[in-house]
Structure 1
Amino acid sequence: MANRRGRGRRAAPRRESDTNLRRAFASSGAGAVRRRVVSGRGVLDLALVVVLSVIAIAGFGAAFDDAGFLLAGVGGLIVGVGAAVLGTRLGLGALATVILAIAGYFVLGTAFAVPEEGVDAVIPTLSSIASLAIGAVFGWADLLTLRAPVELPDYVTAVPYAAAWLVGLIGALLVVRWMEHRRRTVWTHALLLAGPLSLYALSVLFGTEQPVLAAVRGVGFTAIALGWIAWHRFHSAGADIALRRGMLRRNLASATVLVVAASVLGLGGGMLLTPSADDRFVLRDEIVPPSEQLDFPSPLAGFRKYTKDLTDTVLFSVRGLEPGQRIRLATMDSYDGVLWNVAGVHEARDGSGSFTMVGTTFPEPQLLTPGAEARLEVTVAEYGDVWIPGVGYPSQVSLDGDDSRAREHGLRYNAATGSAVLIDGLAEGDAYRLTAQTQLVPATEQLLEVPTANVELPPVSTIPDIVVAKAGEFAGGATTPIEQLRAIEQTMATTGFLSHGAASDSAPSRAGHGADRMVELFERSQMVGDEEQYASAFALMARSLGYPARVVMGFAPEVAEGAVSVDVVGDDVTAWAEVAFEDVGWLPFMPTPEQTDVPQDEVPQPQSEPQPQVRQPPRSENETKDLLTPVDIDDSDTDDEDPFGGIPGWVIVGGLSIVAVLIIVLVPMLIVTALKSRRLRRRRGAAAADASIAGAWEELLDRYSELGFDVPTRVTRTMAAASLEQQVGEHATGRVLGIAALADDAVFSGREVPDAERESVWNEAHGAVELARRAVSRGRRILSRYRLSSVRRWAGTVVDRARVDARDRGHGNRAHWGRPDGGVDNGDRLDGRSTPDAG
């Protein structure tokens, strides 16, 4: 009994403690939460989260081109921590606090992450909100796959903003809602440090091989974390003041020695043991960036247009061009027996048609011996194409104008060829500044022992036998690559004649550079042609000898000494060949002769049936895909133990809420995209060519409807096309009307439609849709991903039928002509939709 009473007396304080705890928990209701104030210890914990997170965010500096990432990261911390503290002070629950944080993410994110897309850099817009959402989901993949330092697209800055926001929100919620009422242990400290530590690791993995103050940041991070843990251990020693003072006296020296030693060893070890740049592990080195295959017509196919139609027309003006420098336009390394063209990634990994999004700062080529640096200022006049005229290998391009930032999103670059393109194309009035490195050309004597480079190029499918024979003949007894190539260049330049096929030329010269034209060039008694034929023939002869060669088209204006600016006209167009030499670069060869007067007794006679100029083959049927694609990251845990056992329920609820929001945003878009792809395959794969062409028209109408245009119904295709072009404006340029005419001809003419025409109509339809996309705002483009025209038509049909039924009930007459909705059923809709589409 005494033992029982003794146990009861000893248990009394425990019961009193339990009662106090229950009272404390009871006082933490809604009314008490509103009066909750963060304690001094909690303020220190919040400061720790912020300071360590800022140190971690600084590591992203190597991946961005300016300090905007730091503003975004600090802003994310402010929003996340501020939402957690404000929600606690207002007495909001965990879920309500997370919703408040999400609202703050989008409302304040414009000023911190994407100020260029907001009104006055602060007020959110639909475009800035979309960038914040897209950046949080897809920006991670873009930050890894785009070249560092990343400057475009703008939404990539949302990556440090979103990461810091999440770390700040979770860390602050742990401090103000969980750690305030729990006994501090090593595990609670580790849990609070997990967020900043994860952010630190993320900045390292997403950085580059050149770290940002790695030793200083690492030592600073460690010293602050150790000091914070030591301070908490001291304040957790108990209520005995004497004991705490004793601990302070005993541990102050040891803690100081520990921090100083860690700092010294960290700095020294970091300097001595830090891996070299080549050995540093970063994710971007392990991921192959996606290349965008751009399908543009070969500019070399329109070579004669410059020499005949634009001879004296000023195409653009250039400031800073040195005498003797040539302007590069496009580089072509793929030959199919008809055209020299750019090669896509399916033909060669670094093919001339493989472009990447780079912003305004371009990567350095792998094969280049730098010569002089060139700085040009170009003002466009009558030139209108996607290829950006430049010198050598551009390192930076800056567009001028109010919309330059938006247009720079369309810059693409191929570092292997030095070719840059602007997706929207250049037009009269455009201006840009360009900085480039030129290729140093060593003397022939310095290249006698230098082999050609091992460069991956697409194979040449057709080289006429006479070209192979002439290559051996012109090379003569030369043995080294440079001697053979110089011999071929010299022979062609001294024995051939220059003619652009103009009426004033002494000898006729047919355009083109196909295999038949190459045969004609060498079969006649005298070689007659222009730069188009000579550069093509030289490149083919070099390829026949096993040397990597390609063709470059550009301009060679005459620049007087001391001239500030020069006007480039169509007559300045030229072409030349380049061959790659190991550890040197792509060296130019100019095989085109200068002499134009062909002896009269040796003037070659034109063929009795001259071949027409070869046109560019129709565009590939492949749609242009978005460069920027998401990367799926598998976060599954194979551990049998529950990894979330120690995490509070409100944290799980908050995470699931964020995931739910992402699912609500992404899943409908994925479903709609799948339905659109199914619809496209069904229409394009129709067995009958005329049905496929009609499907191309229907696909065009659906895409325009999904972009928000008002697509007329019960009208002819031509009337519908006219209405759509009026809505699109100058971007359409009669393209939709042309597609409507082709569709009408294919459907109603009764003739046999060839497959080539079907593919051409589909390509034209895709081009018209792309023009319409450029004509609308980014918000409408984003909304179009969630729209399905068949659903909109179905809803409209339901409304129309309801109106007809209501009208019939009012008149007491339900008889109509042909169909219940009062329309005319003649087998085909006048707008070209022959059958309803449920897809």
Structure 2
Amino acid sequence: MNGTGRTSSTVMSLRGRALWAVAVLGVGCWQLSLGWASAVAGAVFVGVVVLVFGLVLGARVVRVPGGFVVLGVLTAALVGAYYAAPASGPLQAVVDSVPRLLTAPRPAPVTAAFLVPGVLLVAVVALVSALSLRARALVVPAVGGAVLYVAGALLTAGRADPRGLGALGLLAVTGIGWVLVDRGRRRGSVVPQSVLVVGLAGVALAAVLLPAGRPFEPRDLVTPPVNDLPASSPLPALSSWAAAGDTELFRVRGGEIPMRLVALADYTGATWQATTVYSPVGTVAAPDLPAGARHVETRVDVTIGDLTGPWLPAPGRPTATSAEDAVVDASSGSVVLPSGARQGFEYTVESSVDAPDDADLIAASVPGGGAARRYLGLPDLPFALAEYARRTVADARTPFEKAVAIEEVVRADRRPNAEAPVGSSYARLSTFLFGAPGTAGAGEGTAEQFASAYAVLARAVGLPTRVVVGFRPVPPGPDGVAVVRAADATAWPEVYFSGWGWVPFDPVSGTDDGPASASRREVINRLATATPTPSTPAVSGPAMPSKAQVPDAAPTTVVATRKPWYLVIIAVPVLVLVVLGGLRAGRRSRLRRAGATGAWAYVLDSLLLAGRTPPRASPAPEIANGLATPEARRLAVLADRAAFAPNPAPAEVGRAAWPLALRVRATLRRRVPWYRRLFWAIDPRPLWRR
């Protein structure tokens, strides 16, 4: 009766310590969750604590070794991190999770990718705290709560608990638990806990009363994680989109604004290339050229139709999106969905769009090196194009006048033609700009040639440019939704002006498509009277192949295939189980060869697995009487004779002992619950039983 009472008291004490530990970690989780934008984060963290404690305590009830619980929790955490955040492998997902969170907007969005580091930290703290309860180490949950509190303070730069109320609450829950849950402990063990409580209370009081300077900012120590995703330029797809005409690509709600698909900055002399390095949307990584002083914020809702490929349409520089897996190039604002856009996919995107007035640009300058070098690159520029650009801006006085002059010259006497040969190479642009009449592509092209010709000529005279593939603004319907069709796809160049950001130009329609600003019209009129039309250079590029010789290119759907790291993660526990099973099989083989003594040792192994380990000093017959099976008694006698008889037992005695051991083992195995039998063959405890 007394033993039962002690067992019940032990269980109740363990249960009380577990509830107290969950409460302490819950306070820490609440403090940590303030680093995210929603209370959902706190609910997730508390759920992780409850789940881990449930697994540890449940495994203790069913007598599952603690090592299996640790292995299972850590494996689940790695696999979860791998599938929640884009990465090349599980370990890389964990390594990237902290920089991704620290470089996110503050507070961080509540998405799977941004919750990964918080969940991992809470899971590890909860696992260590739960495993420590059996040893009555009540300091461990308190330290775990403090770790979560400090993590929340670092994540928010101290803004999570400006008055110290969270710290005082953590101390209160910790102190109450030490007094009530552990009141049966001897007095000497309470002294260091009391000292710790007083010390932590002093620290919390100092944090509340003392003035604070600039808080420590962990963001200064990290750089945003990046993903390397190969993606081809969608410029060649403009002709196929033009041919598709009325095909609905996507729908957008949020205003009549141009939607960007991808901004292309790298030019090889043959083609424009899309960047392959992307970071999570919302990271604080600065673009290589800063945003302009005047900008507007937009928010649009997009529903994908027949648009294929990895890019997601977005206005300006995206700052946040509901597409959890989306990544962005911080410099260009191009948004990529690694799995590829699919029909019916819906998302919301918030963006910032540079919006300077033309009057702001009249006296604006442009950067000439450093970060702008990427936007000035023209490898092996042909003399004909360089000379054509020089003549075009001969009478322009400012960078803005140069940009306007090139816009007017590129569109002069040239016409859009969806059937024109595709391409952006020097040869194709030379034919487009000053090819002989009758040559395929001479004086006509798609938006690809207009935008590319402008960008190349502008770079030749020192203007940083890039080419943007996107869609014209479409007026919304009565329901406020604009339907963007394939015919709305286009491309346009942008020029960067210091202090004002990227400014779009339209060499296809120029000032004919809507009213121009007074500043731009004034520039156009002055240049038209002062500068003659630039003559065609004597040196022209080689003839371009006909359209039949140039294959149409369709946008390539980029699917970020995950490397089979998940197989490694799955294989680790399987390998552990196989190794344990092999070791157990080897031990069984050795015991079988040892005769009657080995057979009795096999029975002792079975008793250990059944939770009935006898005292080490008990003789074999006494243990066999407690089993109440005739096979056990017969085996005990044989084992005693084999161990203590002066003459070695005959070989047939050893052969007869092993079947008895197997029958005793089967009897013991039938008496244990089914969940204990699952680990019977791989439980490692018999391996170190002596």
TM-score category of the 2 structures, normalised to the smaller one: 0.5 to 0.7
Structure 2 matches for 1:176-215, cutoff 5 A?
176-178=134-136, 193-203=142-152, 207=155, 209=157, 211-213=159-161, 215=164
- Determine the structure 2 residue equivalent to 1:302: 237
Q: 1:266 aligns with which of 192, 207, 232?
A: 207
Structure 2 matches for 1:546-565, cutoff 5 A?
546-557=462-473, 559=475, 564-565=480-481
Displacement of 1:86 in angstroms is: 6.0
Displacement of 1:436 in angstroms is: 3.0
Specify which structure has the bigger relative contact order, considering alpha-carbon pairs within 8 angstroms and separated by 6 or more residues: 2
- Determine the structure 2 residue equivalent to 1:338: 270
- Determine the structure 2 residue equivalent to 1:789: none
Q: 2:430 aligns with which of 486, 510, 519?
A: 519
Cα 1:562–1:490 shift into 2, 3 Å = farther
Aligned: 1:281 with 2:218: yes
CA deviation map 1:600-652 (0-9, x unaligned)? xx99x9998744565589999x996759999xxxxxxxxxxxxxxxxxxxxxx
The answer (yes or no) to whether the contact 1:471–1:544 under 8 Å persists in 2 is: yes
Structure 2 matches for 1:136-285, cutoff 5 A?
140-147=94-101, 148=104, 149=108, 151-153=110-112, 157=115, 160-161=118-119, 163-178=121-136, 193-203=142-152, 207=155, 209=157, 211-213=159-161, 215-222=164-171, 263-269=204-210, 272-273=211-212, 275-276=214-215, 279-282=216-219, 285=220
- Determine the structure 1 residue equivalent to 2:332: 417
Displacement of 1:586 in angstroms is: 1.3
Q: Distance in 2 between matches of 1:67 and 1:98?
A: 33
CA deviation map 1:3-39 (0-9, x unaligned)? xxxxxxxxxxxxxxxxxxxxxxxx99xx787444267
Cα 1:426–1:470 shift into 2, 3 Å = same
Q: 2:414 aligns with which of 471, 476, 497?
A: 497
Q: Distance in 2 between matches of 1:436 and 1:314?
A: 23
Displacement of 1:416 in angstroms is: 1.9
- Structure 2 length-normalised TM: 0.61
Aligned letter for 1:177? A
> What SS class does the counterpart of residue 518 from structure 1 fall into?
helix
- Determine the structure 1 residue equivalent to 2:357: 442
The answer (yes or no) to whether the contact 1:61–1:67 under 8 Å persists in 2 is: yes
Q: Distance in 2 between matches of 1:516 and 1:661?
A: 54
- Structure 1: gaps of 5 or more residues: 1-26, 115-125, 180-188, 343-351, 399-407, 503-508, 597-601, 631-659, 670-839
Aligned: 1:315 with 2:249: yes
- Determine the structure 2 residue equivalent to 1:293: 228
> What SS class does the counterpart of residue 71 from structure 1 fall into?
helix
The answer (yes or no) to whether the contact 1:396–1:434 under 8 Å persists in 2 is: yes
Displacement of 1:289 in angstroms is: 3.5
> What SS class does the counterpart of residue 312 from structure 2 fall into?
coil
- Tell me the number of residue pairs that the alignment of Structure 1 and Structure 2 aligns: 527
- Determine the structure 2 residue equivalent to 1:388: 312
The answer (yes or no) to whether the contact 1:452–1:548 under 8 Å persists in 2 is: yes
Aligned letter for 2:10? V
Aligned letter for 1:537? A
Cα 1:161–1:316 shift into 2, 3 Å = closer
Q: Distance in 1 between matches of 2:232 and 2:260?
A: 16
- Determine the structure 1 residue equivalent to 2:585: none
The answer (yes or no) to whether the contact 1:63–1:150 under 8 Å persists in 2 is: no
Cα 1:593–1:238 shift into 2, 3 Å = closer
Aligned letter for 1:74? V
Aligned: 1:96 with 2:50: no
Q: Distance in 2 between matches of 1:50 and 1:314?
A: 53
Cα 1:65–1:371 shift into 2, 3 Å = same
Aligned: 1:467 with 2:421: no
- Structure 1 length-normalised TM: 0.52
Bigger radius of gyration, 1 or 2? Answer: 2
Cα 1:275–1:588 shift into 2, 3 Å = same
The answer (yes or no) to whether the contact 2:251–2:482 under 8 Å persists in 1 is: yes
> What SS class does the counterpart of residue 328 from structure 1 fall into?
strand
Q: 1:329 aligns with which of 245, 249, 261?
A: 261
Displacement of 1:551 in angstroms is: 0.2
The answer (yes or no) to whether the contact 1:142–1:629 under 8 Å persists in 2 is: no
Displacement of 1:106 in angstroms is: 10
Structure 2 matches for 1:662-811, cutoff 5 A?
663-664=572-573
CA deviation map 1:184-232 (0-9, x unaligned)? xxxxx75564333344445556x35575226433444456557777999
- Determine the structure 2 residue equivalent to 1:54: 26
Q: Distance in 1 between matches of 2:245 and 2:384?
A: 33
Aligned: 1:426 with 2:350: no
Aligned: 1:574 with 2:490: yes
> What SS class does the counterpart of residue 571 from structure 1 fall into?
helix
CA deviation map 1:472-519 (0-9, x unaligned)? 2222243433332233223334x34223165xxxxxx54322110222
Aligned letter for 1:212? A
- Determine the structure 1 residue equivalent to 2:663: none
Cα 1:130–1:445 shift into 2, 3 Å = closer
Aligned letter for 1:523? F
CA deviation map 1:333-377 (0-9, x unaligned)? 1112221121xxxxxxxxx3322344xx67686433463443434
CA deviation map 1:112-151 (0-9, x unaligned)? x99xxxxxxxxxxx9999989x999665324214353255
The answer (yes or no) to whether the contact 2:16–2:181 under 8 Å persists in 1 is: no
Cα 1:529–1:162 shift into 2, 3 Å = closer
- Determine the structure 2 residue equivalent to 1:37: 10
The answer (yes or no) to whether the contact 2:230–2:276 under 8 Å persists in 1 is: yes
Cα 1:310–1:619 shift into 2, 3 Å = closer
Q: Distance in 2 between matches of 1:221 and 1:304?
A: 64
- Structure 2: gaps of 5 or more residues: 437-441, 513-534, 579-690
Q: Cα RMSD between the aligned structures?
A: 5.2
The answer (yes or no) to whether the contact 1:301–1:614 under 8 Å persists in 2 is: no
Q: Distance in 1 between matches of 2:494 and 2:466?
A: 5
